[in-house]
Amino acid sequence: MKLSQTQLDQFDRDGYLFFPSLFNPEETASLRREVPHLYAQDRPENIREKGKDSVRTNFAAHMYSEPFARLARHPRMVEPVMQLLDDELYMHQFKINGKMAFDGDVWQWHQDYGTWLNDDQMPTPRAMNVAIFLDEVNEFNGPLQFIPGSHKLGALEAGHDISTTSYPLWTISNDNIRTLVKQGGIVAPKGPAGSMIMFHSCLVHASAPNLSPWDRVSVYLSLCAVSNHIKRFKRPGYIAHRDFTPITCLPDDCLVHPYPVDLPWKDGTPLIEQSGLQQAA
Ligand code: SIN
Ligand code: MN
């Protein structure tokens, strides 16, 4: 999939692109039906909502689940990001966010690059987020909210919030959000399961709690230019990957045909990937 000049201009202006129904129902179902099994596992990669059993986020499923290992090599996501970053890509982070009915908690206002810079020493924002909806996203189940154009400001001042939710995040102050929203407003792309959003690593975003009876499971791939790989291994390897091997794509029909994929963490996460290291290797 190649982006047109109009799409490139739109990405440059807004910091995101939305592709409704990019994956068909059969492709989406091949991923969605795996999620309950992944969330039921007792592994460090499952981070549960504060005080609840519901999974907030599952990390690195592409290392131990066949359908997600195929998604991680899907040309419909990888190729446009290669085009935008003009480099080979490696997987910096892979997560399946639950935002489960009634239990799904807030994601405070932040830029992903804030965390990648402060925690992982990623040299520049040459990395991209790709979100794929595995459930319909509507106005009630906690859609992602963006401040269009905010990616132009680079890395903004952020504070480390380790108490609001079960997952630490470098967040942006309310005063700064007020100013940014005066300039850019807020948008919340919504659509059927199978829709995809690509967004810049400096785009300011958030999502509200899910008070609805509908789950809002979405997969997020964070693809980084190989030449921009992280320099610090403070976080566990399953959160911030330390393997910078370029991704090789599978054919476009890989979600509906069982192309073979490696599952190196199928029998458990290697101990060395479960904790931070003092030094980058
Ligand atoms: C994120 O910002 O990383 C996740 C937000 C969400 O899933 O709503
Ligand atoms: Mn984020």
Mean pLDDT over residues 128-149, rounded? 98
Instruction: Please give the pLDDT value at position 167.
Output: 87
DSSP H stretches of helix in the chain: 5-14, 25-32, 35-40, 66-71, 75-85, 112-118, 174-184
* Alpha carbon of 260 to ligand 2 centroid (Å): 31
pLDDT in tens, 221-275: 999 999 999 999 999 999 999 999 999 999 999 999 999 999 999 999 999 999 9
* Alpha carbon of 250 to ligand 1 centroid (Å): 26
* Alpha carbon of 97 to ligand 1 centroid (Å): 7
CATH architecture of 5-274: Sandwich (2.60)
From CA 135, how far away is CA 213, in angstroms rounded? Answer: 12
What DSSP line would sit under 114-134, residue for residue? HHHHHTT--SSS-EEEEEEES
Distance of CA 130 to the CA centre of its chain: 6
From the alpha carbon of 129, which atom of ligand 1 is closest? 3
3-class secondary structure, 210: coil
From CA 39, how far away is CA 120, in angstroms rounded? Answer: 26
From CA 140, how far away is CA 127, in angstroms rounded? Answer: 29
Mean pLDDT over residues 35-53, rounded? 96
**What sign does the CA torsion over 125, 68, 81, 131 have?**
negative
List beta partners, residue 223.
91, 128
Q: Which residues line ligand 1 (CB under 6 A)?
A: 97, 99, 107, 144, 205, 207, 218, 220
Average pLDDT, rounded, for the chain:
96
Instruction: Please give the pLDDT value at position 281.
Output: 56
Instruction: Please give the pLDDT value at position 221.
Output: 98
* Alpha carbon of 110 to ligand 2 centroid (Å): 6
pLDDT in tens, 77-112: 999 999 999 999 999 999 999 999 999 999 999 999
Mean pLDDT over residues 68-81, rounded? 97
Instruction: Please give the pLDDT value at position 113.
Output: 96
* Ligand in nearest proximity to the CA of 59: 1
Q: What are the residues whose beta carbons fall under 8 Å from the beta carbon of 57, sequence distance 6 or more?
A: 47, 95, 96, 97, 98, 167
Nearest CA to ligand 1 atom 8: 207
Using alpha carbons only, what angle is made at residue 40 by residues 34 and 44, rounded to the nearest 5 degrees? 105
Using alpha carbons only, what angle is made at residue 28 by residues 80 and 204, rounded to the nearest 5 degrees? 50
From the alpha carbon of 220, which atom of ligand 1 is closest? 3
* Alpha carbon of 125 to ligand 1 centroid (Å): 18
* Ligand in nearest proximity to the CA of 115: 2
Percentage of the chain beyond pLDDT 90 is 93
